[in-house]
Amino acid sequence: MFVKFVSKLIKKMRTFTKLLSYLFSMFTLLLWSCHSSEPTKKINLDDIRPKSNSRTQKKSSSIEKDTLASFYNYYANDSAQLGIAKITLDTTLKTHFLDRFSTAKKRLLLTDSTSQKFQYLSWSFADSAACFEAFYNWLDQAGLKQQSIQLGSGDVLHATHGLYVIAKNELFFLHSEQPLAYQKWLKWFEGKPDNSSIHYVLRMKPKQKTKWFQYSNNKLLVL
């Protein structure tokens, strides 16, 4: 009996010893894992702050340079002798009524060799139907009190000298505080590489009524 008791006791002690050995191994493994793991990566606020899109800025700058370059070519080689010395994009204007009819628009500030300044606006259209739809809609609010005016006789709201060209697929508005050389500007318009044949011309002077013309064979015919 005593021998059996001792044998059982020895077996239990061995089992207990194995359990302690297993627990010790697990504890050692866990401790080694905690020390060997990489430290948590710190977040740099500069990495998550929004950054400006340099590609977009470069693209926008490139488009602006291309736009101005094309106009420099127009004026540098013009046969109308306009003497344009400086061209910049006009960012001072608010949304114009005609902007809703065309996204192909140009707004420029021009200065000639005599320091006369011009405000240049134009809208291009896919065809004459789209162009004249925009033109007639503009007439519906172009009066002195933003009332509708008649083609050929209405007085357009203006405070400076102005030249408005209604072409086949383009509307071109030019303003200046000083008198305009109308014939030279019409000659230049006809000589543009992307020229659109002219249908109507409006001439404006401060405190005077708008004058309407048809344009045919380089001549202005009073409407």
Sequential DSSP letters for 30-63? HHHHHHHSPPPPPPPHHHHS----HHHHHHHHHH
Lowest mean pLDDT among 77-86, 96-105, 213-222: 77-86
As a whole number, the mean pLDDT across the chain is 77
24 domain residue, yes or no? no
Q: Per-residue confidence at 56, pLDDT binned at 50, 70, 90? A: very low
Among 9-13, 64-68, 164-168, 218-222, top mean pLDDT goes to 164-168
Q: Supply the pTM of this predicted model.
A: 0.68
Query: Of residues 154 and 15, which shows the higher confidence score?
Result: 154
For residue 223, what are its two tokens?
Answer: 């409407």
78 domain residue, yes or no? yes
The domain tally of the chain equals: 1
23 domain residue, yes or no? no
68 near 87, Cβ under 8 Å?
A: yes
- What range does the domain containing 165 cover? 67-222
pLDDT at 70: 55
182 domain residue, yes or no? yes
pLDDT at 83: 87
What is the arithmetic mean of pLDDT over 128-156? Answer: 93
108 domain residue, yes or no? yes
68 closest CA partner among 83, 53, 90: 90
Query: Of all residues in the chain, what percent carry a pLDDT higher than 70?
Result: 65
198 domain residue, yes or no? yes
137 near 151, Cβ under 8 Å?
A: no
22 domain residue, yes or no? no
Angle among Cα 212, 168, 137 to the nearest 5 degrees reads 65
40 domain residue, yes or no? no
